[in-house]
Structure 1
Amino acid sequence: MLDPHRLRVFRAVVSSGGVQAAADNLGLTSSAVSQHLAALARETGLTLFQRQGRGIVPTQAGVELADQSEEAMSQWGRLDSVVADLREGRTGRLTVGYFASAGSAWMPALVKELTAEMSDLTVDLVLTEVTSRNVTPDIDIITDLPDSPPRAGYRRVYLANDPYVAVVARDHELASQRSVALADLRGETWVSNDLVGNPGHKILVQACAAAGFTPRFTVQAQDHYSAIQFAAAGVGVSVMPRLAARSLPPEVTRLRITDPAPVREIAAMVRETGRPNPAAERMLEMLIDLNTHPARRGRPTIA
């Protein structure tokens, strides 16, 4: 069985580019780092580094071990956190998955309230739309296509519909309008704000196809924040969910889209564990309440 501490030292050497740099970063002596590397090489039976000039570089096997050990070290770090929680008397842990716009608009206030109510709870937040980690959230806030298959081990709870809007520069010829037909954006330069293949991108492209055209994405921003800045600079227009365009700089405005109006559905996937999970149920209750009575709770929702 591999020693996690030796793996940490090994990964530090690979990342920092040398033994001395890793030793400085870790607060160890260079000889201690070298001893850990030698011990790990014996444990694995692999040649992990080779000489290059006056230093060392990882071999192909070393590079592969560093890459493949990332998930294992992440899980080991999670176990360290569990031990720390138990030592400090925190016995509960909730893992919440989210996508970017829901994370910025909803999660800070909800997590603050939940941990105020449950002082012994630790909340892990995972951006599940981009992570490569093998995580199993207790609650996963998602957007899905209507024909998406059920997720094994989870129940799906509807939260809200999130219509798309067009974000344009204040000096754009459409900026004075309150709404725009989707087909009227046909000839515009488009700025993407999502990854190709993601549900949100597919919903938008399908709506454009229903309007009789294919959008011409000249700028591949692939995130809402960058896309908004490109629109502000007058580079093009960006069509995104309204939740992502909730807070805009003064240089841009948003327009309601009609004929057809693309809409994404937001849902919470709640893990079925066969035993009560009060923290997950409370988070779900807060999410539903947020989208049902936003004014009463005084928090941002889709508006």
Structure 2
Amino acid sequence: MLDPHRLTILRAVIAAGSVHAAARNLHLAPATVSQHLRGLARQTGLVLFEKNGRGIEATPAARQLCEASAETLTSLERLERTVEDLRQGRAEQIAIACFASLAQAWMPQVVTALRAQSPEVVVEISINELHPTGGRRVPDVDVRNEPLDGPPVHLEGYQRHVLHEEDFWVVLPATHPLAAHPVIAMAQLRDESWIDHDIHDGPTGRIITRACHAAGFTPHYIARLDDHHAATGLAEAGLGITVLPRVALTGLPGSLTMRPLTDPTVHRRIVAHTRTHPTRAQLIHTTLTALREAARRTRPSTPDAHWFRDHCDGPP
């Protein structure tokens, strides 16, 4: 059996780019790192590194081994954390994965419900847009979004629960000429400078891109980020517009406004995926109940397009 510690060191050397840099990161002596690499090479029968000038370069075999071992090492790290939690008496826990805007808008209510049920529970929340393979632990509840016109997503080993459907809105400076319109057609955004908040091209980004293509254009991005708060900060500075789902529209500064979109209207579906677990069934049920309640409270929180048509004659 391959030594997981040696595989971890291989991953560290490839990521750091040199033995000395990896040794500093791992708080090991360079000679110790080199010794482990030689042991892994003997164990696998592979050439893992080759000379490159004054340094070394990972071979394709080493990179493939590193990639293939990633999931196994992640599982072992999760197992070690479980053992530590059991040793420290922190046996009651639940892992939730979700996207960033939902973490801000809904997770306070979810964690409150979980703590009310089990005051000693530890709730771990990871952002699945940034960590698609899971956070520190395999998620017990995984909340994702998907397009309304696409096939429903099913995760192996999980049960699917539709929570909510919502629209996307354009966020722009209150002084922007388009702010005079109660509803904005996607085609009107063709020549705008766009600020992307989904640099990893996750489900949200793909939904927005498809809507732009349906309106006959490709958005011109002047900045791409992985945080919707940072995107609104750039919009507030007058650098461009951004398109956000309704759940992310809370707490906008007064210098920004938002308008519903049409032709096409941009939608998404929010779905919770729950797994069966023999000891965390009640915590998972409480989480799902709290998510459904949060979704119910979200629906009336933002005026719809009809409200703007009836109430907006000009810029807000």
- Classify the TM-score, shorter chain: 0.7 to 0.9
CA drift of 1:2 comes to 1.1
Match status 1:92 vs 2:92: yes
Aligned to 2:260: 256
Give the residue type in structure 2 aligned to 1:238: T
Distance change in 2, residues 1:302/1:243 (3 Å): farther
Aligned to 1:278: 282
Deviation per CA, 1:105-136: give whole Å up to 9, x if none: 22255336525643553434333335342785
What do you get for the CA RMSD once the two structures are aligned? 3.4
Match status 1:148 vs 2:179: no
CA drift of 1:87 comes to 0.6
- 1:52-67 residue pairs with structure 2 within 5 A? 52-67=52-67
Q: Distance in 1 between matches of 2:30 and 2:88?
A: 34
Q: Distance in 1 between matches of 2:231 and 2:247?
A: 14
Q: Distance in 2 between matches of 1:287 and 1:16?
A: 40
Distance change in 2, residues 1:236/1:46 (3 Å): same
Deviates more, 1:84-93 or 1:198-207: 198-207
TM-score of the two chains, using structure 2 as the length reference: 0.77
Distance change in 2, residues 1:61/1:132 (3 Å): farther
Q: Distance in 1 between matches of 2:200 and 2:86?
A: 42
CA drift of 1:241 comes to 1.0
Q: Distance in 2 between matches of 1:7 and 1:41?
A: 10
- 1:1-303 residue pairs with structure 2 within 5 A? 1-108=1-108, 110-111=110-111, 114-115=114-115, 117-133=117-133, 137-146=139-148, 147-149=150-152, 151=154, 152-176=156-180, 179-182=182-185, 185=188, 187-189=190-192, 191=194, 192-194=196-198, 198-201=202-205, 203-204=207-208, 213-219=215-221, 221=224, 223=226, 224-257=228-261, 261-272=265-276, 277-293=281-297, 303=302
Give the residue type in structure 1 aligned to 2:95: T
Deviation per CA, 1:3-22: give whole Å up to 9, x if none: 11122222222233333333
Deviation per CA, 1:234-262: give whole Å up to 9, x if none: 34433321212323244421123457643
CA drift of 1:141 comes to 1.3
Distance change in 2, residues 1:124/1:45 (3 Å): farther
Structure 2: state its 5+ residue gaps.
Answer: 303-316
Structure 1: state its 5+ residue gaps.
Answer: 295-299
Does the CA contact (< 8 Å) of 2:51 and 2:57 recur in 1? yes
- Paired residue secondary structure (1:38): helix
Deviation per CA, 1:34-56: give whole Å up to 9, x if none: 22122111111111122334433
Give the residue type in structure 2 aligned to 1:245: L
Tell me how many residue pairs correspond in the alignment. Answer: 295
- Paired residue secondary structure (2:251): coil
TM-score of the two chains, using structure 1 as the length reference: 0.80
Give the residue type in structure 2 aligned to 1:173: P
Deviation per CA, 1:47-95: give whole Å up to 9, x if none: 1122334433322222222233222221111111111111111223423
Deviation per CA, 1:270-300: give whole Å up to 9, x if none: 2245886111111111112223357xxxxx9
Q: Distance in 2 between matches of 1:52 and 1:110?
A: 52
- Paired residue secondary structure (2:176): coil
Give the residue type in structure 2 aligned to 1:91: A
Give the share of equivalent positions with the same residue, in percent: 35
